[in-house]
Structure 1
């Protein structure tokens, strides 16, 4: 039987062309959107809301699922990331031990020092015709 690890990532838009980014400091280093693991007994949306609050200080709502990213982490384990978008939030941003958070123009993300494969994930976040980033071996395919 295959084991699964569920996580999430949330693109928060301010309605003026900026998105909230996090400069991640731990194992997956670089600029990305906030997110993290789904805990036992938690819905996927509840986990995304909790992770954003913990990592950014913002309370988000009206999350829209725009796709998934998935890959094998072991021979019998699949890692699944639910990719959400929202422009509904409250509060003031604050950084956490996960990394510094700040607003950045969406147009500048392609030139930023993002985490590995972020450009492919961004394609799923932004392109309504694409809904999955799937890895086979070392390469990802946007489907």
Structure 2
């Protein structure tokens, strides 16, 4: 099994009630995720999260603490995936789709609706609403908490 690290960024609107979601084209139909993707060789989790958010939404973001870490096995692909969801903040930019062959839509979605796509246990939905996270530490320094 090949280990794959995947990062996602949880971005809220000004009201704090909506999350920015990306609708991806897939082999078995379209599906929603938070903005994110695979970490490339030589990248930190932070660098990958910022890059992926920019590529998928057109927005410049900063990341804060970690919301969750989870893992799964994809036997058909031979992948052992580790998923890191970061709390994030929009710094600048306008929503734009840079890769229309991959991304169908970028949209704000109410938390209660978006939660079904986050692949987190029901009990964790309250943590999404409360904007809970733990510090992300890079090379001994706390990057940010939210």
What TM-score results when the alignment is normalised by the length of structure 1? 0.71
Contact 2:6 2:84 in 1 (8 A): yes
Q: 1:30 to 1:77 in 2, by over 3 A?
A: closer
Q: 1:108 to 1:77 in 2, by over 3 A?
A: closer
What is the SS of the residue equivalent to 1:63? strand
> Could you tell me how far apart the structure 1 residues matched to 2:52 and 2:21 are?
14
Give 5+ residue unaligned stretches, structure 2: 134-146
What is the SS of the residue equivalent to 2:37? coil
Which one is further off, 118-127 or 30-39?
118-127
Per-residue CA distance 1:97-119 (angstroms, 9 max, x = gap): 22310122223335xxx65x635
- Cα drift, residue 64 of structure 1: 1.7
What TM-score results when the alignment is normalised by the length of structure 2? 0.70
What is the SS of the residue equivalent to 1:68? strand
Give 5+ residue unaligned stretches, structure 1: 130-143
- Cα drift, residue 52 of structure 1: 0.4
Contact 2:69 2:83 in 1 (8 A): yes
Q: 1:105 to 1:54 in 2, by over 3 A?
A: same
- Cα drift, residue 58 of structure 1: 0.5
Aligned to 1:83: 85
- Cα drift, residue 14 of structure 1: 1.7
Q: 1:77 to 1:30 in 2, by over 3 A?
A: closer
- Cα drift, residue 73 of structure 1: 2.2
Contact 2:9 2:63 in 1 (8 A): no
How many residues are aligned here? 125
Per-residue CA distance 1:23-81 (angstroms, 9 max, x = gap): 12124732221100000000011001000000000011133211112012239742111
What is the SS of the residue equivalent to 1:6? strand
